[in-house]
Amino acid sequence: MADNNTPVENLDGISEEARKRVKELIEEEEGAHNRYHGALAVFMTLCAVVMSLFHLYAAVEIVPAYILRPVHVAFAMALVFLIFPIAKRFRHRLMWWDVIFAVASIAVVVYMLYWGDAFGDRAITPTQMDQVFGVALVLLILEGTRRSSTWILPFVVILFLAYALFGPHLPPPWTHKGYDIARLTGALYMTLEGIFGVAVDVSSTLIILFTIFGAFLQYSGAGKFFIDFSFSAMGGKPSSAGRAVVMGSFLLGGPSGSGVATTVTLGSVAYPLLAKSGYGKEAAGGLLAAGGLGAIISPPVLGAAAFLIAEFLKISYLDVILMATIPTILFYLGIFVMVEIDARKFGMKVIALEKHHQALELAKKYWFHFVSLIAIVVFMMMGYSPVLSVFWATVTTAVLSFFRSDCALIPYDWFRGRMPWLKGFWESGFIRALENGSVGVLNVAMTCAAAGIIVGVVTLTGLGLKFSSIVLAYADSGAQALVDLFTMLGAADTPKLLHDMKLLLTAFYTALIVWIVGLAVPVTASYIICAVIAAPALIKLGVPDFAAHMFIFYYAVLSEVSPPTALSPFAAAAITGGGPYRTTLQSWKYCAPAFLVPFMFVLDPAGVGLLLGGSFKNLAQADWAAVAVISVTAIIGIVALAGGLQGWLLRKTTGIERTMLVVAGLALVYPTTFSDVLGLVLMAVTVTLQKMRPRETAPA
């Protein structure tokens, strides 16, 4: 890896101490890279560029899955061992053991490819050598995952492997017949159902191509343009700085593809303006982290887990984008409402956000960045596959970058012969984008390979069905207790009431499980684990499979703002100088209204309308009146929750008003007629009471 600064590390607007802390947090999420010089740096860059070119080639030419997936894992593991040190004290030095690990990573895949079809044919009865290479691959994946992220995910993988090995010795209902090394080797290493299963399939196709696309956007200047445009377009209001953060995080989410990267890139520019507006350190950090979180759930480029949704459900990625549209609007609406309330609650000042450029002027100069951002959706709507769509969107971005010399991925001077031919091209944004496209996917690729081990164990042992049965059993007993309570209060004891209570508790338990898993592992791994062990429980209760997976996806994203691994709020706190945990609580405050929305997906058939039927095929049969009603009630519910959490709506709320707003918000996000009427009445009463009371002259 060459010793150069990537766009996310451009932190000129913050202090040296904050810059150091932010880089530490980025390394905690993405791993601590080695920085090489000279010939070694050139070699590392060449390897990364070759990896990107191979995957771009695989996007337009047919490369069989049994070749593409293992080669992808080999590339990722070899680069991880060469780029990520075994420990911090060995940073920036290539050690002999790193070379051995890298060669071993290639060897286990070469062994697979050497045997061809015969390799998979003997998966039921693997040879001694097959088992040796299989165990070596598992160990290499565990070490590679530890280097590129943290030790927690490898530890979780080891627990699952132990579950597979020692099943007969476990207490009921967890017991199973147990599987030896030979059986695990055959399932995890010698088929396309374990390590090289769905997760690696998505990583080797969609995820790496989207990472390359994001790198091309960044090196063409799209990230800087989106920030400048947002701050130019949102001036003139007390809430301008907050509005600019909301808009900037939405636009920047596509190029960065990372909650931490979006938080850091935007925070280094936005925090001084937020401070001038009147935001405290923790409040500013919470807003930045909440905005960064939106990068993972925002179309057209969502987080890596979104690509897995498409693969698990066997649907088009365009359908996932469609499902994410309304929830994303509701997410940013929740933050936007909180920002507007902040401005009134704290009496914030009007500040000039951008003196040098007008938004219209910027749009006229750099309009092609918007084209690059939506190119993926355009190509998919033209009938291209997601893989081809992102490939041609990357080509489009590269071509459009030449509309302005300051955005060109290859300098104009190179074409004019004013700079060394080879050196000029090698140091261009084009090469850097290819390099960072591969390097940026390494931790995700290792996470997917490790998650493949977990999925293989769950499939082999039937753990998913057992886990779902346990969750449903707990939900059943709890639901019966709630029904008995409601019956005592005068409610009718009906099968529907029992089903609704069981579904509510199952959804709550599932959200809690996803959240707890997300505290320990990255979003991608959290989604994969919970999709195979928790989603079946929701589906058994009649929840559509796409709604169950979107529910799990949204709660997996909570790991980005949840301690002890709340990297986005911690990075924001490093920039603002606020307390990390207080910043995390502020981030929760900004996110809370929108994160009740996923319950609407699963608690009632009407709530599925927020996902627009799950696919474009179902749009023609959609009940648009129902979609409109559920969307409007969700919007009003978010406003009510925001006001209740802030203690301020039109003006400062009393204790009774605040309670009514929270109850109204909770009622409105529960998609039934009775709860909607209750929520609307409470909201109307609160607004009326506030209108009747004289406005306070001093801010809170």
Question: pLDDT at position 681, please?
Answer: 93
Q: Among candidates 575, 559, 572, 634, which has minimal Cα distance to 604?
A: 634
Q: Among candidates 559, 561, 537, 641, which has minimal Cα distance to 597?
A: 641
Task: For the chain, give the percent of residues with pLDDT over 70.
Answer: 88
For residue 482, the Cα-to-chain-centroid distance in whole angstroms is 35
Task: For the chain, give the percent of residues with pLDDT over 90.
Answer: 24
Q: How many CB atoms lie within 10 A of CB 192?
A: 16
Q: What share of the chain is helix, strand, coil (3-state, %, to 5)?
A: 75, 0, 25
Mean pLDDT score, 371-387? 86
Q: What is the dihedral of CA 375, 381, 385, 386, to 10 degrees?
A: 50
Question: pLDDT at position 3, please?
Answer: 42
pLDDT(678) > 80: yes
159-168, 495-504, 625-634, range with greatest mean pLDDT: 159-168
pLDDT(9) > 50: no
Mean pLDDT score, 306-319? 86
User: Distance (Å, rounded) from C-alpha 696 to C-alpha 699?
Assistant: 7
Question: pLDDT at position 700, please?
Answer: 54
What band does 16 get if pLDDT is binned at 50, 70 and 90? low
What is the 3-state secondary structure of 657-672? HHHHHHHHHHHHCCCC
Mean pLDDT score, 571-598? 82
Mean pLDDT score, 64-70? 93
Angle between helices 181-188 and 128-148 (to 10 degrees): 70
Question: pLDDT at position 5, please?
Answer: 38
Mean pLDDT score, 595-607? 81
Question: pLDDT at position 6, please?
Answer: 41
Q: Left if phi > 0, otherwise alpha if psi is -120 to 50, otherwise beta: which for 78?
A: alpha
User: Distance (Å, rounded) from C-alpha 158 to C-alpha 161?
Assistant: 5
pLDDT(554) > 90: no
- Among 6-20, 115-129, 475-489, 534-548, the range scoring the smallest mean pLDDT is 6-20
Question: pLDDT at position 325, please?
Answer: 86
Place of tokens 């709320």: 653
Q: Among candidates 321, 323, 314, 304, which has minimal Cα distance to 525?
A: 304
User: Distance (Å, rounded) from C-alpha 46 to C-alpha 302?
Assistant: 28
What band does 22 get if pLDDT is binned at 50, 70 and 90? low
Q: What Cα–Cα distance (Å) separates residue 159 from each residue in 174, 216, 520?
A: 13, 39, 13
Higher pLDDT, residue 298 or 50: 50
Q: How many CB atoms lie within 10 A of CB 496?
A: 8
Q: What is the dihedral of CA 180, 186, 192, 198, to 10 degrees?
A: 10
What band does 257 get if pLDDT is binned at 50, 70 and 90? low
Contact 443, 258 (CB under 8 A): no
Question: pLDDT at position 106, please?
Answer: 96
User: Distance (Å, rounded) from C-alpha 576 to C-alpha 560?
Assistant: 18
Residue 610 one-letter amino acid = L
pLDDT(493) > 80: no
Question: pLDDT at position 541, please?
Answer: 87
Q: Is 309 exposed, middle or buried (0-12, 13-18, 19+ CB in 10 A)?
A: buried
pLDDT(4) > 50: no
